[in-house]
Amino acid sequence: MGLLQTWRETAYSQETDKKQLEKFWADYFQQEKGVYEKLLENPEEAVSGTVKELAEKYELSLMTMTGFLDGINDSLKTPNPIDEMEEDTVVSLDFDNERLYKNMVDAKADWLYNLPAWEKIFDEAKRKELYLEAKKMNTIVKGPKIGRNDPCPCGSGKKYKFCCGR
C-alpha cells in the first residue's frame, strides 16, 4: 500500500473516534504551520529530497510528511507523483507563492494565510487582491432565468417552451 493511501485511510477514517480524529487534525495543523513558517522564510528556495529526508528535516513523521505533500501538491510549480510515492521517492517543495496563498484561503486555513511571513512576500494590497481572487474562484454565477414564453436563446425565433424548453 502506498504512503498516500495509508495517510488518507488514517486521516479520513470513518471508524476512528471523533475526538481522536479532532486531536489528530489539531496536531497535524500545528505541525503543518511549523513547516510553512520555515518554507516561507525563504520562498525562492526550491527545497527537494526524498520523502524520508524531508520528514527528518522538518521533524515530522513519514505519515505527517505525506499529508503535507498531499496538501501542498496543488500549489507546486511541478506537482509531485504523490499517488505512487514511497519513502525513497524524490519530491520537490518548489511552490508558486500566489497559488499557495490562494489555496490556503480556499481551504479556509486562516492559521496559514495569516502567517507573518506572508507580509515579507506580499504587501497588504496584494494579499487582499489574492484573497478576493481566491474567494471568487468557487463562486457560481447563474445567468438570468429564461421564462417559458421568452424567445428561445438558441436563436430559432420560437418561444422557449416550444423549442429548447421541452
* pLDDT value, residue 137: 84
Its pTM surpasses 0.75: yes
CB 48 within 8 A of CB 124: no
Distance CA 22, CA 11 (A): 10
Q: Where are the beta strands (DSSP E) in 6-124?
A: 48-50, 90-92
d(CA 55, CA 114) in angstroms, rounded, equals: 24
Give the pLDDT of residue 143: 82
pLDDT tens digits for range 98-132 = 999 999 999 999 999 999 999 999 999 999 999 99
Residue-wise pLDDT for 47-99, tens only, equals 999 999 999 999 999 999 999 999 999 999 999 999 999 999 999 999 999 99
Least Cα distance to 53 among 101, 79, 91 occurs for 91
Mean pLDDT over residues 126-146, rounded?
88
Q: Residues 103, 56, 41, CA angle at the centre, nearest 5°? A: 45
- Between CA 75 and CA 70 the distance in angstroms is 10
One-letter amino acid identity for 75? S
Q: Does residue 140 surpass a pLDDT of 80?
A: no
Whether residue 144 has pLDDT greater than 90:
no
Note whether 94 and 48 are within 8 A (CB). yes
Q: Given a cut of 80, is residue 1 above it in pLDDT? A: no
pLDDT at 13 over 90: no
